[in-house]
Structure 1
Amino acid sequence: MSAIFDAISEPVARRVTAGLAKIGLVLRSRAWKGAGTAGVTPTQGHALALLRDAPDGMRLAGLAKLLGISAPTASDMINALVAKGLVAKQPGPDRRSINLMLTPEGEASADRTREWPDFLADAVDTLPAGEQAGLLRGLVRVIRALQVNGDIPVQRMCVSCRFFRPYVHDDPVNPHHCAYVDAPFGDRHLRLNCGEHQLADPVEQEEHWQRFIAPTDAQLPQTR
């Protein structure tokens, strides 16, 4: 009988995409509402959030890349945030470079922008812990596919980091390892934007990615 539904149903990928699109519309709507209250645009709020996660500051080019906007657009946006007293420009590691840092007012504003998607976090929290971890793992795979296709800028995710070691522990809960903090972790700990992220070289990235998405029987954690 399921063949009837197979014939009349859209492909699962299309239905998932439609669901994500609906969530995206709500997120944009909430972001504009929150931005109006905070006195910044959604893109400015996103920039503040990224700088909040970079305690040592960021270069303009790096920020523009993460936001997926051009350097001139990013420069105009930063100048507006500087004028609002939310961002400060400081000398970078060389004479010609500028490091962008949040001011105390900027940190407070960045904290408020983090509250914009809380309604969605509350909805995700209704899922059992295992489903939340599975959803996070699935999102990591989708985001990486978009990155590989050049549809979105490279994000500072665990799976592209040189410190990531997938499936090196014989532990069903925490099979991966982070060499930066020298500790095991599981899918529920995967990060989409890590301040300590250091991009691995392409060969290492691909090797770790293949191990992450299709671990061999020997690599899979064994139940005890």
Structure 2
Amino acid sequence: MSIRKAHRLSACVLAAYLLLHLGNHLVAVAGAHAHIAFMEAIRPLYRHAVVEPVLLACVLFQCGSGTWMVRQKWKKRSGLVAWLQAGSGIYLALFLLFHVGAVLFGRAALKLDTNFYYAAAGFVRMPYALFFAPYYFLSVCALFTHLGCAIYWQVQARSLTVRRLALGIPAGVGLLAALLIDLAFAGMLHPLDIPAPYLTIYQ
């Protein structure tokens, strides 16, 4: 199997989890309690002793293989969609490494439940919010843009309108989802009462 095919297979595995994870974050529009309840319901699935190592391995492989492919075709890359695919892929790789690392650190070293409050604490503390708001916003936009680019290449034989919609619709959905998630975690939709252990991380 080529690296490109393995990258796509790994992407499918990760996409299933990431869409579930983003769905969890979007539930936060209804409040922190709804987010935590949804998370507690689905955690047994992705933290299963077999599933979690597979997901972590996919993250590492996806980041490594994606970076390798970007480097291989860097000088041959041309066109807006090609550069959008490369740029969104690089951002996603960096985000996944830092985000997964932060979650594992929170669980193992800080002994915290890495739930809604673990992420939200960074949104309400200044100057950390200036980093976390765009950090999360761009990650969601990058995911949907990367997905849109992949769909774009699959319908390359179709009309220009179809190709534009293939990229534009996922990118638009990602933009809306990113905005809602940021607003929810920043406490702009519902008042937040973040427990002290989470806030002390940023003191």
Task: Please give the TM-score of this superposition, normalised by the length of structure 2.
Answer: 0.26
Of Structure 1 and Structure 2, which has the larger fraction of its residues in helix? 2
| Rg larger for | 1
Which fold has the larger relative contact order, with Cα–Cα distance below 8 Å and residues 6 or more apart in sequence?
2
Task: Please give the TM-score of this superposition, normalised by the length of structure 1.
Answer: 0.24
Of Structure 1 and Structure 2, which has the larger fraction of its residues in strand? 1
